[in-house]
């Protein structure tokens, strides 16, 4: 009955009404003539059919109008989660299907907007929390200097230098925030070129040598005897290797070692950054690439970390249609590995 077409319903209702009227006339009319009942049946069938036909035509045109309106809303909608088009011979079922599909799309969109709202709130909370510490520090140093510290030779220079370090920290946070927002909004275009990734790795290691040696850490590029060419954005991939190397120093143990290994895998090239530092417990690994996620918050901040380094790394590699994986054992070390397109 649910899927019966309105036309069939119209005929059934007309016949039922006509039978009902004919039986009534036959039973209640004085002469109880079969002829009168048959005539009543025909008249009733004709009139009910005509009335119902016009009512139906009017209703169906309204239903079709509604179906088209809903359909237009659906095609204009930016929600591309449900892309199937609905087809039904029955106008009423078609309207029902359209409304159901529309409702489902709206539900998905509301869920998506709710998630975005939670993310936005979390992001704002994290940003203000990150900026608060250096701002309060600067405020403290400036107030002390204004309260007479400026004339005190034993602290004035030191406090100014501390304030400058806090300003540097704010600049680092803002640079990382800018990078992540550009990557997330897709504003940042990847500009791929052919380059030697072994040479790039050696270049990064040279630039980070000073930081590493201050902790007695040795940085090396393994199998560096020949060039390995990739097709990627050189500047962004440099940023990826820098972030991974800097992390291996920040979370590495004193007199440890960080090795970059580059493998030619046919279509792709695999780059590994392996350290023998602190390691990361398994429960943290799935969330490691989230913005502001840190295993040890105070250690990260002490080391000048923003909690955005790995999120930036992941975004850059995703923009290259590549991915990054991590393997780690607490107390043994961590290996990050990612792939690049071979050129």
- Nearest partner of 197 among 280, 263, 259, judged by Cα: 263
Nearer to ligand ADP, 22 or 245 (CB): 245
Q: How far apart are CA 141 and CA 18, in angstroms?
A: 97
Phi, psi of 275 (to 5 degrees): -125, 170
Q: How far apart are CA 255 and CA 214, in angstroms?
A: 9
Given a contact cutoff of 8 angstroms between Cβ atoms, the answer to whether 43 and 65 are in contact is no
Given a contact cutoff of 8 angstroms between Cβ atoms, the answer to whether 341 and 266 are in contact is no
Q: How far apart are CA 66 and CA 64, in angstroms?
A: 5
CB of 230 to ligand ADP, least distance (A): 23
What is the number of other CB atoms lying within 10 angstroms of the CB of residue 221? 19
Q: How far apart are CA 297 and CA 307, in angstroms?
A: 9
Residues 22-81 that bind ligand ADP (CB under 6 A): none
Among the listed ranges 42-50, 179-187, 200-208, 309-317, the one in contact with ligand ADP (CB under 6 A) is 309-317
310 in contact with ligand ADP (CB under 6 A): yes
CB of 301 to ligand ADP, least distance (A): 8
Among the listed ranges 89-97, 185-193, 220-228, 306-314, the one in contact with ligand ADP (CB under 6 A) is 306-314
The residue from 94, 232, 305, 324 that contacts ligand ADP (CB under 6 A) is: 305
Among the listed ranges 1-9, 218-226, 230-238, 304-312, the one in contact with ligand ADP (CB under 6 A) is 304-312
300 in contact with ligand ADP (CB under 6 A): yes
The residue from 14, 18, 200, 309 that contacts ligand ADP (CB under 6 A) is: 309
Nearer to ligand ADP, 85 or 214 (CB): 214
The residue from 94, 179, 295, 324 that contacts ligand ADP (CB under 6 A) is: 295
The residue from 215, 253, 259, 294 that contacts ligand ADP (CB under 6 A) is: 294
Q: At what angle do helices 156-184 and 309-319 cross, to 10 degrees?
A: 30
180 in contact with ligand ADP (CB under 6 A): no
Both structure tokens of 319 = 């923009």
The residue from 280, 316, 317, 324 that contacts ligand ADP (CB under 6 A) is: 280
CB of 180 to ligand ADP, least distance (A): 10
**What is the dihedral sign for C-alpha 90, 96, 100, 106?**
positive
> How many chain residues touch ligand ADP (CB under 6 A)?
22
Strand order through the sheet with 218-221: 218-221, 257-264, 268-275, 333-341, 324-329
The residue from 90, 166, 247, 276 that contacts ligand ADP (CB under 6 A) is: 247
194, containing H or E segment: strand 193-196
208 in contact with ligand ADP (CB under 6 A): no
The residue from 159, 212, 275, 338 that contacts ligand ADP (CB under 6 A) is: 275
Residues 314-343 that bind ligand ADP (CB under 6 A): 334
Given a contact cutoff of 8 angstroms between Cβ atoms, the answer to whether 136 and 105 are in contact is no
Q: How far apart are CA 207 and CA 66, in angstroms?
A: 66
C-alpha distances out from residue 7 to 41, 46, 64, 92, 288, Å: 20, 15, 15, 11, 62
Nearer to ligand ADP, 169 or 250 (CB): 250
Nearer to ligand ADP, 45 or 280 (CB): 280
The residue from 307, 324, 338, 340 that contacts ligand ADP (CB under 6 A) is: 307
248 in contact with ligand ADP (CB under 6 A): yes
């Amino acid at each position: 009955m649910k899927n019966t077409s309105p036309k069939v319903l119209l005929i059934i209702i007309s016949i039922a009404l006509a039978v009902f009227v004919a039986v009534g006339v036959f039973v209640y009319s004085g002469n109880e003539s079969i002829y009168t009942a048959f005539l009543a049946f025909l008249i009733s069938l004709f009139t009910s059919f005509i009335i119902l036909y016009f009512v139906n035509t009017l209703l169906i045109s309204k239903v079709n109008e509604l179906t088209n309106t809903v359909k237009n809303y659906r095609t204009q909608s930016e929600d591309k989660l449900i892309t199937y088009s609905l087809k039904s011979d029955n106008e009423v079922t078609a309207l029902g299907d359209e409304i159901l599909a529309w409702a489902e799309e709206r539900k998905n969109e509301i869920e998506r907007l709710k998630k975005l709202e939670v993310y936005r709130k979390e992001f704002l909370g994290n940003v203000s929390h990150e900026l608060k510490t250096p701002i309060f520090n600067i405020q403290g140093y400036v107030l002390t200097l204004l309260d007479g510290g400026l004339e005190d030779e034993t602290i004035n220079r030191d406090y100014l230098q501390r304030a400058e370090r806090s300003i540097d920290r704010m600049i680092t946070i803002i640079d990382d925030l800018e990078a992540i927002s550009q990557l997330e909004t897709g504003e940042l275009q990847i500009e791929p070129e052919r380059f030697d990734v072994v040479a790039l790795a050696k270049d990064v290691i040279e630039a980070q040598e000073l930081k590493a040696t201050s902790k007695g850490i040795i940085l090396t590029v393994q199998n560096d005897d020949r060039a390995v060419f990739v097709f990627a954005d050189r500047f962004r991939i440099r940023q990826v290797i820098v972030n991974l190397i800097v992390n291996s120093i920040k979370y590495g143990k004193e007199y440890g070692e960080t090795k970059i290994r580059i493998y030619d895998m046919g279509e792709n090239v695999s780059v590994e950054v392996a350290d023998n530092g602190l390691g990361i417990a398994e429960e943290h690994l799935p969330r490691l690439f989230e913005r502001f996620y840190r295993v040890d918050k105070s250690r990260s901040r002490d080391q000048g970390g923003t909690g955005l380094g790995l999120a930036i790394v992941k975004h850059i590699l995703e923009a290259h249609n590549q991915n990054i994986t991590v393997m780690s054992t607490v107390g043994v070390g961590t290996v990050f590995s990612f792939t690049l397109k071979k050129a």
